[in-house]
């Protein structure tokens, strides 16, 4: 079974950041979102990989 795609709210909760920070910084920080229609979605595995690349634990 495939993992559910994360929404901006899910990513904000996961990163413990405000939703506004995620929206304002996703391009500059290169958070691995993909556009699905008009919405941003992120695979949990891609987000974990991105975090590892940032040096986060």
pLDDT given at position 1: 61
pLDDT given at position 3: 74
Phi-psi region of 55 (alpha: psi -120 to 50; beta: other; left: phi over 0): left
pLDDT given at position 33: 97
Domain ranges of the chain: 8-54
pLDDT given at position 30: 95
pLDDT given at position 7: 97
List the structure tokens of 24: 């304002």
pLDDT digits (tens, 9 = 90+) for 19-57: 999 999 999 999 999 999 999 999 999 999 999 998 754
* Dist. CA 34–CA 32, nearest whole Å: 7
* Dist. CA 39–CA 20, nearest whole Å: 15
* Dist. CA 21–CA 38, nearest whole Å: 19
């Amino acid at each position: 079974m495939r993992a559910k795609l994360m929404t901006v709210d899910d990513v904000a909760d996961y990163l413990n950041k405000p939703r506004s920070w995620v929206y304002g910084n996703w391009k500059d920080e290169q958070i691995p979102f993909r556009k699905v229609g008009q919405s941003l979605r992120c695979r949990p595995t891609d987000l974990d990989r991105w975090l590892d690349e940032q040096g986060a634990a």
